[in-house]
Each structure stands twice: as C-alpha cells, then as structure tokens.
Amino acid sequence: MYVFNNIEQYHRQLKEGKVTCTDMVQEYLTQIEKNKHLNAFVEVYTNEALQKAAELDANRNSGAPLKKLHGVVIAIKDVICYEGHKVSASSAILKDFTSLYTATALQFLLDEDAIIIGNCNCDEFAMGSTNENSVYGKVLNAMDEQKVPGGSSGGSAVAVQANMCMVSLGSDTGGSVRQPADFCGLIGIKPSYGQISRYGLLAYASSFDQIGLFGKALDDVALVLSLISKNDPMDSTMEASPSSNLFPIKEADRKFKYCYFSQALNHPSLDKEIQQKITGLIEQLRAEGHTVNEIDFDLLDYIVPAYYVLTTAEASSNLSRYDGIRFGHQSSIEPKDLSAFYFNNRTEGFGLEVKRRIMLGTFVLSTGYYDAYYSKAQKIRTLLVNKMKAIFAEYDAILMPTSPETAFNIGQNDKDPIAMYLADIYTVLANLAGVAAISLPLFSHSNNMPFGLQVMTNKSEELTLLQISQQLLLKHKSADVPFLS
Ligand code: GLN
C-alpha cells in the first residue's frame, strides 16, 4: 500500500496507476476508525469522500489533466463553513447548525478537486490552548495519549499527526495553529492578516483571526497556501494583493538576517531544554554565516494582557449574535421575559471558558473601564505594530520558541485560566501585529515529545517565511523528531 509522503509524489503515483483516490480515502477512513478514541473529528464525510474519490478516479482514467489538489484529502476545523454541512465551533450553542454557504478558502480547495474528509474538533469558539474546552470532549495527542494536542485547533493537528488526512485547515487568533503544531510535531503556519479570506470562518476576534494550515511536508503547506491566498471581495479586510508565487518554493541560497528577543529566550517560564536547543541552533546559524542578533524587546510582558483584553472585547461583540433567535440553541425553559429568554439560551449554550471571555470582554468595553483597559490595550497594540515594523526594516525574521513547554498533561491547567493564558506568550505577538509566522518541528525533547521553532516574518512576506523554513528543515531538523508513520 502506498504511504502518503507529499502531494507531488502522490500525484505521480496516481498518474502511474500505482494508487487511486479511492484507495487513499479508504485508507484514511480506516485510520480515522482506528483512532476514534483520539476524538479528532466531529463528523466524517464518509460517503461523500468516497463518491468524490470515485469521480476523480473515473476522470483521471479518461486522461483529463489533474487539478492542483486532485484527490488531496483535507480535514477542516469545525469553525469553517461548508454549505450543507454542520458547523458548530464545538459549542452546544450551535449544535446541529448547518452552514448556509461555503467559506471562500474552502471553496478554493474544492475548485482544485480536494476531497474534504470531515470536520475537526476544537476548543469552543477557538478559545483555548488544549482542546479540552469542547462540547464533544477533549482531543488526545497521538504521540502520548496522556497529553493534550494543544489548541484550539487540536483536532485538525491530530488529524494530520495520526495520518487521518494529508493536510488540514485550522484557525489562528493567538497561536491556535502554531501551538498545536508544536505539540504534535507538525508544520503549522499562520499567514499574515489579510492573506486569506475570513469569509465563512466563524469569528472569535475579527482583527486577529486567520485561517492557517497543518502539514508534514513544507511543499504541501506552500501549495495549499498558494491556492487559498487569493483576493475575495467578501472580506473587506483582505490585502489588495495577497502574497503570490509561493509554490514551488523558490530556493533561497542566501544568508538571512535573524534576530531574537533576549526577554523571550531568557523568560522564566521557558523550559530549560527548549532554551538550550534554540540557543544551540542560533549558534549553528551564526557559524553558517547567517546574522543572528539578540535584541531588546521590553514590551514582552504586555503582549498577553493586551491580547486578552482586545480579543475578549471582540469576542463579546462577535458572539452576541448567538442569542437563540438569529442563531443558536433555544432553551426549553419557559422564559418570563425577553431577557430571561436570552439568559437561558446563552447559559445553556456556552461553555465555561467562552462565558468567562464574554464577561471579560464586556467588562473591558463597559463605560468607566473602556479607557483603563480597552483603549490602553489598543495603544499597546500600536506600539507593538510600530516596534515590529522597525525590527523588520532591519531583519528578515524573528526566531522564537512556539511554546514555553512541550505538550501539557491533560488537566494540567484546568483550575488556572491565567496560567493557561500566560503560556500564549510567544504566539500572540504575530496576531497582534498581523505578521506571518510558522512553527517548524525541528526538535525532540528528552521527555520524548517534539517541539518547534517559531519563525516570524513581516506582513506579506510569506515567501521569505517559506524559504527560511525550507532551509531550516533541510539543515536543522533533528533526526530524532518523533513522527508517526
Ligand atoms: N490560546 C489562545 C487563546 O486561547 C489562542 C486561540 C486561537 O488562536 N484561536 O485565545
């Protein structure tokens, strides 16, 4: 049986008749069944995927040229709308809600003959870092089932990690693609803000949200990214011309100018072994002739508070539509008035973490507190954007850990939401500043879990990000990074 390696090789095998799309879909369905306990999928589109595969196999036999994602098996996060399919943001409030239209990014994949195999579990409304906050229950990390896969796109990560699809879509508002990629040993990319249409992506915090991708092969990530990086009149926050020519990745045989933040690499929360391995890599890069400078970033301690003030404010507004009238669950309790009606619907529909964030967001926007919290956080965001502009005027990329530690144990941070928020220290900056970032699975920890290196490039510098990633993966991926085959 052909074992999937990357899309290009798969297409060659298809053309040579060594494998069919039906074989692949069947193989993935078997893996999904075998790994059911990992809880990565909300729904599996078994019949539909098999039918599409059969259609593609028949077309291919008639000699028609292959579209770019012909037979590529993809899973999507349960926050991406797909007409006629359920989408719930893994929340009781949207349970059994059916999408009325298809997200633009997903439509671009369908147009290229991708096969969508199902939608994946996530933290409710993409709020979380462990995939433990889901109405469908937690997702397990396939490398160690006592550990979380990360979040919020944990299901999408595990779907790729445990070979249940070829690539997957997630969403990244503050790290929800990069951090699960880090915990699961995958490549996870968050493109710059405005690179990919958000039309049809259920909103958490609109000025932060971006669709991102998981894969095991950089070329696959680059190919899919290039196909979904297209302008969409339905999203007015898109860049006029998103980065293009991302695939094939034009090899950059040059030395890069990197920097890293002294405060980030010396942060007390950073695991010592992660710190040592990244420091070791920095030394190797210098020895290879790249510039790697340590720079001062005195705003580091402000980024997590700014992120949680601004994203919860946006969430409180975005989630107000789930009121049981326009959208969402209706309680069966007889309400005494309209307020009670909303109250019952939302009390039953939302989980604990989502309620916490709606309340926090409502608080920071309320009269009397707006200036103290919301306006102040916006000012910090402006400072961060300016600081990042200045850095990127001088450097090609910033190097950072993706997460202060490897995959957490299940339940480790249950009781302490603040501790959980603080673990987002390395990822939220890219969303606050709207720049591009990737987590590359370069390292293995002595606790047998993988971890990544995060690389950030300026807004619209996806090509540089991919070129750097290509170099790093080629030269610096430690041979013992665990991969499930
Ligand atoms: N962990 C972050 C949070 O809980 C990231 C969420 C995300 O990127 N969707 O907000």
Chain segment 432-474, per-residue pLDDT in tens: 999 999 999 999 999 999 999 999 999 999 999 999 999 999 9
In this predicted structure, which of 175-184, 241-250, 383-392 has the lowest mean pLDDT? 241-250
- Residue 311 CA, ligand 1 centroid: distance in Å: 9
Confidence (pTM): 0.97
Give one DSSP letter per residue of 177-189, joined into a string.
Answer: THHHHHHHT-EEE
- Residue 410 CA, ligand 1 centroid: distance in Å: 17
pLDDT band at 63 (very low <50, low <70, confident <90, very high): confident
**Residue 144 near residue 104, CB atoms below 8 Å:** no
Q: How many CB atoms lie within 10 A of CB 326?
A: 8
Q: State mean pLDDT over 230-256.
A: 93
The mean pLDDT of the chain is 96
pLDDT of residue 485: 47
469 carries an active-site annotation = no
Q: Name residues whose C-beta falls within 8 Å of residue 330's C-beta, 6 or more positions apart in sequence.
A: 324, 345
pLDDT of residue 478: 79
Higher local confidence (pLDDT), 336 or 419 = 336
pLDDT of residue 1: 78
pLDDT of residue 326: 87
pLDDT of residue 244: 86
Catalytic residue among 77, 138, 147, 277, which?
A: 77
Domain of residue 43, residue span: 1-485
Report in angstroms the alpha-carbon separations of 121 from 42, 159, 200, 216: 5, 10, 17, 19
DSSP designation for 299:
T
Query: What atom in ligand 1 is closest to the CA of residue 171?
Result: 9
Q: Is 180 in the pocket of ligand 1 (CB under 6 A)?
A: no
Q: Indicate which CATH number applies to the domain containing 305.
A: 3.90.1300.10
Q: Is 398 helix (H, G, I), strand (E, B) or coil?
A: strand
Q: Where are the beta strands (DSSP E) in 123-247?
A: 167-172, 187-190, 210-215
Query: What atom in ligand 1 is closest to the CA of residue 172?
Result: 8
- Residue 54 CA, ligand 1 centroid: distance in Å: 38
pLDDT of residue 483: 60
Per-residue tokens: 156? 């999408």
Per-residue tokens: 439? 């987590």
86 carries an active-site annotation = no
Per-residue tokens: 398? 């910033």
- CA atoms of 3 and 84, how far apart (whole Å): 32
Helix or strand holding residue 259 (H, E): strand 257-261
pLDDT of residue 484: 52
pLDDT of residue 310: 98
| Residue ID of nearest Cα to ligand 1 atom 5 | 174
Q: Is 156 in the pocket of ligand 1 (CB under 6 A)?
A: no
Q: Is 214 in the pocket of ligand 1 (CB under 6 A)?
A: no
pLDDT band at 240 (very low <50, low <70, confident <90, very high): confident
Q: Is 183 in the pocket of ligand 1 (CB under 6 A)?
A: no
Residue with tokens 């789930």: 322
Chain segment 384-415, per-residue pLDDT in tens: 999 999 999 999 999 999 999 999 999 998 88
Domain count for the chain, please give it.
1
Task: Answer yes or no: is pLDDT of 143 > 60.
Answer: yes
**Residue 185 near residue 156, CB atoms below 8 Å:** no
- Residue 239 CA, ligand 1 centroid: distance in Å: 23
Chain segment 66-80, per-residue pLDDT in tens: 999 999 999 999 999
pLDDT band at 482 (very low <50, low <70, confident <90, very high): low
Q: Is 173 in the pocket of ligand 1 (CB under 6 A)?
A: yes
Per-residue tokens: 37? 């306990």
| Bridge partners (DSSP) listed for residue 213 | 169, 189
- Residue 427 CA, ligand 1 centroid: distance in Å: 9
